[in-house]
Structure 1
C-alpha cells in the first residue's frame, strides 16, 4: 500500500490504484496528442486551400478554424495529463505512452482523413498496444529519489544545447538535418519529462530559484521549434524516428539511474521488453509524425 506522502503533487492512494491512475493519465495524454495532430493537419490543409500566403497568413487562417483550436485544447489537456502521469509512474512508462500517440494519429487519420494503413502499419498499432500493456503490468510507481542540484543544472544545460541546435540546424548538411533536428526535439521533450520530476515545490519563490523550471520552459519551447523545422526541412519519417528515440531512451535512463524509477518486483524483464516493443512499434509508424493528407 502506498500511504501518505510529503509531496503535495502526489495523491494518497493504494499502490495499485496509483499505478493505474498514472497509466490512464499517460494513455489519455497519448490520445489527446495523437488526435490533436490530425485535427491540426486538417485545419492547416483547409487554410492552405482557402488562399495563398506565407506561414503567418496560413497560421492566422488556421486559428480561425474550430479543428485547429480543438487541437490546441487537446494539446493543453494532454500536457496536464502528462504532468499527472510523470508524478505517478516511472518516466520510462510515460515516454513509451507518449510515443504511442503515433498509433493514435494513425488510427484517427485512417478514419478522418481516409488514410489507408497497410497490414504492417495495423500490425504496428497492435505491437504498440501490446508493449504498453506489458509496461502497465510491470511498472511500479515513480522513484522516491529526489533529483540532485547537479541533475537540475544538467537538464538546464541540455535545454540550452537543444536551443543552440535549433539556431544552427538550418546550416546542417541536408542528409543529416531531419534526423539531427528530430533527435534534438526529442531531447528537448525529454528534458520536459525529467524537469517535471525535479520540480517538487510550487511556491513561486521556489519555482523561480529552481533550474528545472527554466529547463522545462526552454526545453519545451526549443523542442517545438526544432520539430517544426525538422518536419519542414526533410523526411517526416526520419525526423519523427529521431524524435521518438530522443524523447524515450534518454529520459528513461535518467529516471532509472538518477531518480530511482523501478518496476514491480521480478518484472524488470517485462518492463524492458514492453518498452522496447512499444518504441519499435512507434518507429514503424513514424510517417504519422505529421498527419498525411486525405487519400482518394
Structure 2
C-alpha cells in the first residue's frame, strides 16, 4: 500500500509540475510540437517525467503484492494529490467541498488498507492473457470511434478508453509471471501491457486537447478502477481479510467517489490570459 500511495503522489505531483512547465513554455509561437520541445527544456517538465517513471515502477511493485482493487483506488487518489499540490504551487483556491472530497478519498483508502487481503493466488489463464490483448486492441478501436463524437460525448468516450487502457496495464502486470526475455516475448500479456499503455496515453492526450477535463478525467477514473478490480476478484482470486469484504467495497466506492468529485484536477489549471 505504501508503494501504491507513493505512485499516486508521484503521478499527482507530476501533473502539476508538467502544467507549470507547459504554462511557462506557452509564451512562444508554433503548434503543439513546438510547445512540447520548449517544455522539454524546462526542469519542471523533466522532473514530472521522472516522477511518472518512478510512479510506474512503484505501481508495478504494488500490483505484485496487493489486490488490483486496492491499487486502482490508490492510483485514483492521485487527483487528490494534484488538487493539494496545485493549491500550493499554482495558488489554485480549493472550495470547502473540494477539501472535503480530498478527505473522503483518504478515508476510503484507509478503509481499503484495513480490509485488503493479500494478492490473489491465481496466475490467470491463457484465455485471460489473450483477452487483455484483445481489450487493448478494442481500446484503439474505441479511440477511433470516440474521436468522431462531438463535445462531451467525445471527452467521455476517450476518457473511458484511456481508463480501460490503463486498466489493461494493471491486469497485465499480474499476468507476467517471469521477466526472462524468452517468457516475456511469448506472453500475450506483455504485448497487452505495451499496447494498452500506449493507447491510453494517446487517447488521454487527444481527449484533453479539445475536450472537457472534468468529463475526461471522470471517465478515466471509472475505466481504470471498476474493470480491473472486477477482473482481480473474479479471475485472479483477489480477496479481503476475513469478514471485511463489506469494508473493502465501501472503501473502494468512497475513494472513487471522492476522486470523481476532484475530476477537474485531472489536468492542472492553466493561468488566465494576461496573468
The aligned counterpart of 1:288 is 265
Contact between 1:195 and 1:212, CA under 8 Å: does it hold in 2? yes
Aligned length: 273
Which shows bigger deviation, 171-180 or 271-280?
A: 171-180
Matches within 5 A, 1:70-109: 70-109=47-86
- In structure 2, which of residues 69, 73, 95 is the aligned counterpart of residue 118 of structure 1? 95
1:48 matched residue in structure 2: 26
Shift of 1:175: 3.9
SS in 2 for 1:171: coil
CA distance in 2, matches of 1:167, 1:62: 28
Local SS of the residue matching 1:261 = coil
CA distance in 1, matches of 2:120, 2:51: 28
Task: Using the TM superposition, give the Cα deviation of residue 220 of structure 1 relative to its aligned residue in structure 2, in angstroms.
Answer: 0.2
With normalisation by structure 2, the TM-score equals 0.98
Compared CA separation, residues 281 and 175, structure 1 to 2 (3 A): closer
Shift of 1:178: 0.4
Name the Cα RMSD after superposition. Answer: 1.0
In the TM superposition, residue 203 of structure 1 has moved relative to its aligned partner by: 1.1
- Structure 1 counterpart of 2:214: 237
Structure 1 ranges of 4+ moved more than 3 A: none
- The answer as to whether partners of 2:152 and 2:212 remain within 8 angstroms in 1 is no
Runs of at least 5 residues in structure 2 that lack an aligned partner in the other structure: none
Q: Which residue of 2 aligns with 1:209?
A: 186
Which residue of 137, 156, 160 maps to 2:137?
160
- In structure 2, the residue matched to 1:37 is 15
Is the contact made by 1:103 and 1:282 (CA closer than 8 Å) also made in structure 2? yes
2:8–2:74 Cα contact (<8 Å) kept? yes
User: Structure 1 residue 294: deviation in Å?
Assistant: 4.5
Shift of the alpha carbon at 1:141?
A: 1.1
Matches within 5 A, 1:123-134: 123-134=100-111
Matches within 5 A, 1:53-68: 53-68=30-45
Question: Corresponding residue for 1:227?
Answer: 204
1:171 Cα deviation after fit: 1.3
Return the offset for 1:165: 2.1
Q: Is the 8 A contact 1:114 1:294 kept in 2?
A: no
- Give me the TM-score of the superposition, normalised by structure 1: 0.91
8 Å contact kept, 2:152–2:215:
no
> Deviations 1:147-188 (Å, cap 9, x if unpaired)?
100000000000001112223332123341000000000000
The Cα of 1:234 is off from its aligned counterpart by 1.2
CA contact (8 A) 1:138 1:270 kept: yes
